[in-house]
Amino acid sequence: MFSLIWIASIHTRDFLHRYMPTNIVLDRLRTRRGLKWGVPAMLLAIPYLAGANILTILIGRGAPGWFHLLVLLCIWNAFKFLVMGPVSVVLLVRARTTERRDRRLLSRSPVPTA
């Protein structure tokens, strides 16, 4: 039974990782080229929070109860983008220091002569 749950969760995560728009965008942001877009990507949290607000208003006016799941999904996606901003800055600083260190080591190493 445990292995069945484990396999189902792996397949669910794989599906969500591959086909959900926020996960695709966050994967692109985690690449070396995408790290510089992490802080501007935090602005994508605004439409998600606005959507959650609109859905909450609709729920208050008598919309179906399953809209609560959409509110939760919007807030979760907003938090993912809000967290990715500072994380991308840390990853960018780490990548740049690693690149600078590698360039320095390459410039110091003697060039072999034939």
Query: Over the stretch 21-70, which tens digit does the pLDDT of each residue have?
Result: 899 999 999 999 999 999 999 999 999 999 999 999 999 999 999 999 99
What tokens appear for 11 in the block? Answer: 């397949």
pTM for the complete prediction? 0.79
At 65-109, the pLDDT tens digits run 999 999 999 999 999 999 999 999 999 999 999 999 999 988 887
- Compute how many other C-beta atoms are within 10 angstroms of the C-beta atom of residue 20: 13
In this predicted structure, what is the pLDDT of residue 75? 97
Report residue 109: phi and psi, to 5°: -70, 140
89, 40 in Cβ contact below 8 A?
no
In this predicted structure, what is the pLDDT of residue 3? 92
Region label for 63, one of left (φ > 0), alpha (ψ between -120 and 50) or beta (otherwise): beta
What tokens appear for 61 in the block? Answer: 């006016």
Q: Who's near 44: CB < 8 A, 6+ residues apart?
A: 25, 81
Q: Is the pLDDT of residue 113 over 70?
A: no
In this predicted structure, what is the pLDDT of residue 30? 92
Greatest Cα pair distance, the chain, in angstroms, is: 81
In this predicted structure, what is the pLDDT of residue 106? 86
What's the rounded Cα separation, in Å, for the pair 48 and 69?
13
